[in-house]
Every structure is written in C-alpha cells, then in structure tokens.
Amino acid sequence: MSTHAPTERIYVFKRFERFWHWSQALLIITLMLTGFEVHGSYALFGFERAVDIHTVAAWSLVTLWVFAIFWHITTGEWKQYIPTFDKVGAMARYYLTGIFTNAPHPFKQTVVRKHNPLQRLAYLSFWLMMSPLIWFSGWFYLFHDRWVDWGVDAYLSLEWVAFFHTLGAFMILIFFIAHVYLTTTGHTVTSHIRAMLTGWEEVEK
Amino acid sequence: MIPIRDWLARLGLFMALALPGLACAATDAAPAEPAKAATKPAGSATTADHAKFEALRKPFASGPEVTRACLSCHTEAARQVHKTKHWTWEFLNPETSQRLGKKNVINNFCTAVPSNYAFCTACHVGYGWKDQNFDFGAEANVDCLVCHDTTGTYRKIPGLAGHPTYKDMEFPPGSGRIAKAPDLTRIAQRVGKTSRTTCGACHFYGGGGDAVKHGDLDSSLTQPGKYLDIHMAKDGLNFSCGTCHMTTGHEVPGSRYAVTVEKSEAGRAHMRGRDDGNPATCQACHGNKPHEGRQAARLNAHAVKLACQTCHIPEYARAQPTKMMWDWSTAGKLDKDGKPFKLKDAAGHDAYDSKKGDFRYESNVIPEYVWFNGKVDYTLRETRLDPDQVVRINRFDGGPDDGKSKVWPIKRFVGKQPYDVGNNQLLVFNTWGQNDTAFWTNFNWDKAIEHGMREIGAEFSGQYAFVSTEMSWPITHMVAPKADALACKQCHTAPGRLDAVPGLHIPGRHANPLLDRIGWSLAGLTLLGVIAHGAGRVYMNRKRGNRQ
C-alpha cells in the first residue's frame, strides 16, 4: 500500500505462464462451481449440465497441465517451487503485523525467485497435496464404471472416493479465497494482478 | 361360383398385401358367404387358411368340441399346454421350494381361488374347472380359442368354469347387459396368433377389473400411444405381448414368480438367439450396454446396479388409475333396504363396494424402489404370521452387496384381509357361488370362511379377524420413450427417488455431513479472515494518511 519506496519493473511471468495461469483459473472456478452443484450444495446449471461441464473442464485442465508440466521441466521453472523455510517466520510476521504498519516487505522478488517463501509452501502444497488428491479421486470418480475391469472395485467405494474428492475441493476453495486476497498485497493493491496480466511486476528497489 | 370365389380370394389377398387398411372394407363388400381370403389377418404370412379346413367347417356346440377339432391337426398342442402355468395354475419355485401359482397363493386382492373355481377360472385356459375334481389330463378341456381368437368376440364368463356362454345371457346378472353367445365356427375359422387383446382379456383385468392389479398392465395397452408404451405403440413398433414373451411350445416366458433380474456381467449380454435366457427381458434385445451417445458410458454404468425399468418407467398407471389399497374388513355393509351398494371417490373410481370393502385408486404413481435379485418369498396359507406386523404376502429378496441384485421399481399394494386368530394363518373364503355360504350372496364372513377352509381341507379355529397385508409387484411394462425416462436430478437430489434404497452413494443426494460442515466453516472463516485483514489494512492506511 506504500507508494513512497522507489520501485523498478521486472519481467516475472512469461507469456505461457500467464496463459496457463488464467486458463487454469477459469477452469478451476468452473470446476468449483459445477463440482459443488454435483455435490448437491446448490442448483445453478442443473445436475446433468453441471456433470457435463465438470467433465469437460476436468479434461481441459488435464490437457493444460500436461503442457504446464512440460513447460516447467524444460524451462527449469519447477525450481521456483523448491521449498525453503528461510524467512518463513518473517513473511508470516509481515502478513500479521508489518503489512498494517507499512513495514518493508521481507522478501525481495526477482525473476529467478518470483515466489516468496510462504507462496512456495502454499503452491507446493497445492502441487503435492491438493492436486494429487483431487486428480486421483476425480479419476476414480469419473471412471466408476471401470472399477471392475481394473480390479479395484473391492478396495474402493464411491462414498469414500467422493469424500476425498470433496475434501480436495474444500482445500482448493480455501486456497482460492486466500490466493485471490493475497494478490492485493503487492507493492500496490493491483500490482500482482497486473503482473499476472502483463508479466511485469512493480517491486521495491 | 368357384371362379368368382377364387377371384375374390385373389382380390382379398391383393388387398391384404397392398392395402392393409382396406382389408376390412373388402370383407364388408364380400357376398353373404364369408370370404375366405379375409379370414386371415391382414398382413399375415401364414400358409394355412383355417377357413378351408374341413374340421372347422361345421357348427360347434361347445368349446371342447372346437378343441377336439384343433387337436385333429395340432396333435401336440394340448399336451404342451398341460405343462404350463396357464393350465396348472401352479408353480414350484425351485429356489425357495414354495408351491405357488394361482391355485395355491393367497394374495391380497381377490385372495384365493379354492371354493370360487367356477368364477375365477374364467381366466383359466381350460373348460370345466368348477371344483377340485377338474381333470387336468383331459386334452379337450384345453381352451385354444381364448388365446387364439382374432375376432374379439370370444369371451369367457365368470361363473361358467371357463366356458363362454353358449346362449345369450344377461351378464353381470341384473345389469341388463347381454353377453352374446359367440359364433364358435366363425371364431375357429379365423384363429391366429395371440394378441394384445387375447392376452389382455385376462392380464389387463387381474384383481377383478381393468387396471386393478398390476398398475403397468391394463386395457390402455390395447391401443397405446408412444408415451404409454414405446414398444407397443400402434404408431410405432406395434409389439404384441408375444414379441417379448416369445413363446415356444406354448410355454410363455417371463413369469413374475421367478423374475429374471439379469445382473449384468462385463461384456456379456443376454441376447436373444445367443443365449437360452429369458427372452422377455430388456437385455434380451438391448444387451447390457444399451445406451448410445454422449452419456453412454455413464448411463451404462448406472445399468449395472439399476434395472432398466427404474429409469425407463418413470411412473405406472399412466393411462388409467390402478388400485393401491383394498380393505376387506369393511366389506358387507348394506344399505337401509338391506342391499349391497357401491360408492365412488371424487375422481369417479370405486371407493367402496359391499362385496369387497374399501378401495383406493391412484394414477401416475411413482413406484417404490427395492433391491431385487429375482427371488421372491411368499407368505403361504400354511405360513404362521405375526398379526401385529404388516404381513408381507410376498417379499422381494435382494440387497446392495449380494452381487446379483438390481434396484427395481415396484408397486406396493396394501390391504386388510381375514386371518385365523387361533392359528395365525391367512384364510381362504368362499366369495362367489350359488350356495348360501358365498360372501357375495349373504355377506356372512363366518359361513364364507368356514366353507372356504373346508374346501381346501384345512383347519379353521373358528375365530377370524383382519390383518394388514402388503404385496409387491414388479413394474416392467409401459416403458416410456427415452425422452420421458427419469432425469438425473430425480435421484441426484435431496429428497430423491432412491432415498429409501440402502447401499447407494448418489452424488448430489448423499454427502458426508461432517466434511461439509467443516469444509464450509473453514472456507467461511478464511473469507472472513481475509476480509478482516483487508479491512485492517485499509483502516491503518487511512489512519496513516490522516496523520500525514
């Protein structure tokens, strides 16, 4: 919220990354909206259409992820998610107190370190916990009719597959709420969002 | 004369082949002597014209006389019929070892046949079953015409022990309506395949009247539209009953005493011609993976646990109301002149009849749904019952985990009927007859029960009361067009159609309530947290701005 510190502009998010982020955002919002309708939380599209849209969006996201994983591996960008506990305490303190008193941001964002330590942990948990949970449960949910062919029908029940899928969905929903809010905690309220749109982030020198 | 007749025959044949709609007109235009060419049903490819058979070109005084003529060519027919349930009214269930069939079962409609034979056997494929001494071995007692009449004029009258009337008579007695004696020669010369009319003459009227018993079988199926029955629709596939109940050697498959549930096995379809299974199932033609299009895989997966009927017969009694309740305990009330009377409900259906008690009819009924593996257990006359419980006349066996069951739609028919207070058993009673014990004659339960029990040689304690009973009927006819099948939302919602069926996880219907509570709470707290956090930032920023 400070406008006093001297700033510079750095190119953080490349074109594919931005495309990936926004199409993924759209698909995840769609999946949440339709998913919780299928879950029975409300009526919006109608059950049958919600199932259809959910299925198409899921396959679209799978496709997108194939490209995204390829991109991360080939560009080495996967290293951005290597966890570090360095300055985690400082980041947490910043969000709890410093942000209110206009204290300096404890993390200096650069092109090779574009995520702060808390972000790294959050995104890593998204990649390693929420994603596998939602994908594996979703896969078995979607292919319920193939369980017998796959020989897994004795070990799985739809009730528990649905449970874990819903659990993953709630985790992603909570992640989503926090994530959207934290976009406003940049140098200015909109600087993170602008960076995600244009690629250029305004950071304190 | 003969050349003209030949010419007429050719004309008739031409009409029948090329102008089926005009075949009747050709008959009407024919000279007084019946035109033989028109005796074959329009469009029939049969190679035999029964009107040309010498054995049938004579007057017949009775049904058995016609049968003897039939058997002079169809030498094995009677012996085939003798083996069937249509003849024996008996079925030994190999799975439960219970002796069933109309002869043995006490249901909660008209209850029991013994002591009422001459009335009930109007729906027996035979002649002369008026008491226990009926000769089941007599070939001439087989009634060929009741199934093979194509004229629609052959009618068996209740009370005549399976015979039609041989001279015009008033029926029902006192109604002023005259039942005409059928022209047996004309009927015999025009015999043909069974039809919706012949099967329906009994099966549409089970339980004592049109649409009473089944809910999915009634006279509306004689001329159904597509909405009522996509297979039998006159303007559609135009199936007869025998198209599905494909009969071999007079043995009609598809009995509800031993229902084929067809638990699907991966890749195996019970197809006609490839399997010795029951042809009267959906799968016999449609296979185990019947769905096509976008949702095929998902719908076929549903078909592993759901009977086809569950989605494709969304309601029964869609053309006319069916009886849902029959309370015999109120039967026997008489009006101030001491006469039996009838009452109608607001919709004009029978609500009370002194002969039968109270009724309730319903239309467009949503079925109940149960797990069903094809096994049915009956409460037989011998079975001891608990009068404090609703007695289940039959019980559909099955469950979610037996690997054989599917979810089936059923009609649950409830009622009250007499039972023996001393022996805790269902009672047989004399309903109809010329004797003074018949309930419909003198409205005296003691006499009616005493006579009925004596008839079957069973013990009666002398004390009777009325017990609540229920009976399940599989819903399997009146398949609707696919556009009218159940939509997802009818089960995938709360409350939903399958709420009473255990062992199912239905997305949109069943969710883990604890997970939901925790999940939504945490999401809500997160939202509140970020709003509070944001508000704090705005507040502090303003405060700083004011200070500067």
Q: Are B7 and B14 in contact (CB under 8 A)?
A: no
Nearest CB to A100; choose among B511, B519, B536: B536
To the nearest whole Å, the CA of B399 is away from the closest chain A CA by 16
To the nearest whole Å, the CA of A171 is away from the closest chain B CA by 8
Cβ-based contacts of B515 with chain A (< 8 Å): 163, 166-167, 170
Q: Hey, are the CB atoms on B519 and A167 less than 8 Å from each other?
A: yes
pLDDT of amino acid A56: 96
User: pLDDT by residue (tens digit) across B106-162?
Assistant: 999 999 999 999 999 999 999 999 999 999 999 999 999 999 999 999 999 999 999
pLDDT of amino acid A190: 86
pLDDT of amino acid B490: 96
pLDDT of amino acid B34: 42
The answer to whether residue A102 neighbours chain B at the CB level (below 8 Å) is yes
What residues pair up with B406 in beta bridges, in sequence order?
Answer: B372
pLDDT of amino acid B309: 96
What residues pair up with B386 in beta bridges, in sequence order?
Answer: none
Q: E strands along B91-203, which residues?
A: 91-92, 99-100, 169-170, 178-179
Domain count, chain B: 1
Of B243, B411, B254, B226, residue with least CA distance to B319:
B226
Residue B355 counted as domain residue: no
pLDDT tens for chain A, 205 residues long, are 444 567 788 888 889 999 999 999 999 999 999 999 999 999 999 999 999 999 999 999 999 999 999 999 999 888 877 877 777 788 888 888 878 888 888 777 777 777 777 888 888 888 889 999 999 999 999 998 888 889 998 899 999 999 999 999 999 999 999 999 999 887 788 888 888 888 887 777 7
The reported pTM is: 0.86
Cβ-based contacts of A177 with chain B (< 8 Å): 523, 526-527, 530
Q: Which residue has the tokens 């959207």?
A: A180
Q: Indicate the burial class of B362 (C-beta count within 10 angstroms; 0-12, 13-18, 19 or more).
A: middle
**What are the residue ranges of helices labelled H in B338-444?**
439-442
Q: E strands along B108-167, which residues?
A: none
Nearest chain A residue to B544, by CA? A101
Residue B16 counted as domain residue: yes
Q: Hey, are the CB atoms on B297 and A158 less than 8 Å from each other?
A: no
**Which candidate in B299, B515, B531, B547 is best for mutational testing of the A interface (most A CBs within 10 A)?**
B515
User: Which residue range is the domain that position B23 belongs to?
Assistant: 1-47
Tokens found for residue B190: 């025009």
pLDDT of amino acid B40: 56
User: pLDDT by residue (tens digit) across A87-115?
Assistant: 778 888 888 887 888 888 877 777 777 77
Nearest CB to A170; choose among B304, B493, B519: B519
Residue B423 counted as domain residue: no
Q: E strands along A85-194, which residues?
A: none
Q: Hey, are the CB atoms on B507 and A39 less than 8 Å from each other?
A: yes
**Which candidate in B268, B516, B531, B546 is best for mutational testing of the A interface (most A CBs within 10 A)?**
B516
Nearest chain A residue to B289, by CA? A145
Nearest CB to A177; choose among B489, B530, B544: B530
pLDDT of amino acid B119: 96
Residue B5 counted as domain residue: yes
Q: E strands along B1-80, which residues?
A: none
Q: Hey, are the CB atoms on B266 and A148 less than 8 Å from each other?
A: yes
| Domains along the sequence of chain A with CATH | 7-148+164-204 (1.20.950)
**Which candidate in B505, B518, B548 is best for mutational testing of the A interface (most A CBs within 10 A)?**
B505
Residue B509 counted as domain residue: no
Residue B115 counted as domain residue: no
Residue B334 counted as domain residue: no
Sign of CA pseudo-dihedral A7, A8, A12, A15: positive
Nearest chain B residue to A173, by CA? B523
To the nearest whole Å, the CA of A75 is away from the closest chain B CA by 34
Question: Which residues of chain B fall short of a pLDDT of 70?
Answer: 1-44, 262-276, 548
Nearest CB to B488; choose among A41, A48, A167: A48
Residue B24 counted as domain residue: yes
The C-alpha atoms of residue A178 and residue A174 are separated, in whole angstroms, by 6
Nearest CB to A144; choose among B301, B516, B523: B301
Nearest chain A residue to B296, by CA? A145
Q: Hey, are the CB atoms on A178 and B526 less than 8 Å from each other?
A: yes
Q: Hey, are the CB atoms on B493 and A40 less than 8 Å from each other?
A: yes
**What are the residue ranges of helices labelled H in B54-164?**
63-71, 77-82, 85-88, 117-120, 145-148
DSSP string, A25-81: HHHHHHHHHHHHHHHTS--SS-HHHHHHHHHHHHHHHHHHHHHHHHHHHHHSGGGGG
